[in-house]
Amino acid sequence: MEPVDTVIIGAGVVGLALARSLSADRSVIVLEQEHQPGSHLSSRNSEVIHAGLYYPPGSLKARLCLAGSDALYRYCETTGVPYRQCGKLLVAQKGEETRLQQLHDNAAAVGAPALKPLARREWQQQEPWLNASEVLLSPGSGIIDSHALLYQLQQDAESNGAVVALHHRVEKLQCETDRYMLRVHASDHQRFTLRCRQLILATGLFTTRLLENAAGFPAEQIPQQRLARGNYFALDGRSPTRRLVYPMPEAHGLGIHLTVDMAGQARFGPDVEWIEPTLPPDYRLDVERKATFVEAIQQYWPDLNPDRLQPGYSGIRPKLFRQGEAVTDFLIQDVGSHGLSGMINLLGIESPGLTAALAIADEVKGRLG
Ligand SMILES: Cc1cc2nc3c(=O)[nH]c(=O)nc-3n(C[C@H](O)[C@H](O)[C@H](O)COP(=O)(O)OP(=O)(O)OC[C@H]3O[C@@H](n4cnc5c(N)ncnc54)[C@H](O)[C@@H]3O)c2cc1C
Ligand 1 atom 31 nearest Cα: 12
Residue 280: which residues within 8 A CB-CB, separation 6 or more? none
Number of the ligand 1 atom closest to the C-alpha atom of 46: 8
The CATH number of 87-140+225-322, from 3.40.50.920, 1.10.10.60, 3.30.9.10, 3.40.50.1470, is 3.30.9.10
Q: How far is the CA of 289 from the centre of ligand 1 (A)?
A: 24
- Quote the pLDDT of residue 2: 64
Angle, CA of 127, 68 and 341, to the nearest 5°: 150
Ligand 1 atom 14 nearest Cα: 351
- Quote the pLDDT of residue 251: 82
Check if 170 has its Cβ closer than 6 Å to any atom of ligand 1: yes
Contact (CB, 8 A) for 6 and 198: yes
What is the pTM for the complete model shown?
0.98
pLDDT digits (tens, 9 = 90+) for 279-291: 999 999 989 999 9
Number of the ligand 1 atom closest to the C-alpha atom of 202: 26
Domain 4-47+147-223+324-368 falls under CATH 3.50.50.60: yes
Q: How far is the CA of 176 from the centre of ligand 1 (A)?
A: 27
Print the SS3 string covering 171-239. EEEEECCCCEEEEEECCCCCEEEEEEEEEEECCHHHHHHHHHCEECCCHHHCCEEEEEEEEEEEECCCC
DSSP class per residue in 100-149: HHHHHHHHHHHTPSPPEEEPHHHHHHH-TT---SEEEEETT-EEE-HHHH
Domain ranges of the chain: 4-47+147-223+324-368, 87-140+225-322
Contact (CB, 8 A) for 172 and 214: yes
pLDDT digits (tens, 9 = 90+) for 121-154: 999 999 999 999 999 999 999 999 999 999 999 9
Check if 38 has its Cβ closer than 6 Å to any atom of ligand 1: yes
Check if 214 has its Cβ closer than 6 Å to any atom of ligand 1: no
Instruction: Using DSSP, state whether 215 is helix, strand or coil.
Output: strand
Q: Which of 13, 41, 153, 167 maximizes ligand 1 atoms within 8 Å of its Cβ, making it the mutation to test the pocket? A: 41
Q: Which ranges of the chain have pLDDT less than 50?
A: none
Number of the ligand 1 atom closest to the C-alpha atom of 314: 1
- Quote the pLDDT of residue 250: 87
Number of the ligand 1 atom closest to the C-alpha atom of 171: 41
Q: Which of 194, 203, 259 maximizes ligand 1 atoms within 8 Å of its Cβ, making it the mutation to test the pocket? A: 203
Q: How far is the CA of 301 from the centre of ligand 1 (A)?
A: 30
